[in-house]
Structure 1
């Protein structure tokens, strides 16, 4: 097999790539969404939610009260747990988790109801944009100034590194949205294919230039 044959083989992997992208999104959305009912996960997203102009109003206490009541993963401080109960931390997290799982289930409908999967892809992309806004609204997204010279922008903290990965989620959401929309159009028009998948990749590449 020569180098050209290898590239031709790679070029035919686009359908597999879309399928794996959709499967990856479903796994992440359902798994992470389900974990939102766990108190440690709810505690972890408090800085993002509390500082967000889109979601901060769901909490009872104002910023920056949460800084005195954060529970490190694996640690239980009953007084902090009580504070989060009063703050509606766990109620909000459970609701958010249900929404995220719902998005994942919409993507699962691609083989049977691609129009619903199209909506799911769009909602995932919107969710990614909101999540990326945390880089602007959440101070904890950047390394704190505690004596080292590497702090603030562009030095992402652990939370910031988690958030910036949603740039991938954004692209994946748009890709599966477009793929499901094509499947819906093919189903409606009664033809096997009208718009090559390659056009989606070219459009995304052009938008990123």
Structure 2
């Protein structure tokens, strides 16, 4: 699948995942993409190896009483990072990291209508980010919007286009507050995406802004 993937993760996202500093929702999207993409999986391995070398070269620090207990408590309170596994060939479209959250493939998704034929399922995470599956019928556009923070969108089925490029299966779009776009699912096959945000979207139309209060996008 690597030869088909044209849009990859940024170095900052891969480093954040390797360091365990990403919100859980972002970690899930990163792990799902990396399980599909040989290129990003190799880059992630390099960052993880680099992090190990840095730890090995770090000087010794004197510990105070209770340091071990405090560290274990911090670890216990951290969100679990979705493990990276290379996607096995299956009849489904969800890689293993996402299947673990959904409880199966797309037939296990509990879709909820959000308007215009678009459906979604919000996945349960730590609350520092919001992650959802989106089902966009072929030929349908998501309302024009901007971003108050970062949005990661990974294509799992079909494809969509916006003002920047075409995104097919395995491609990931990293959108920040400088991008306003109108994603449109390509004709022929419904588009299913995994999307994570750390702030609400900024819809330009009145009706999408009203609907936003109820669907939480």
TM-score (norm 1): 0.27
Rg: which structure is higher? Answer: 1
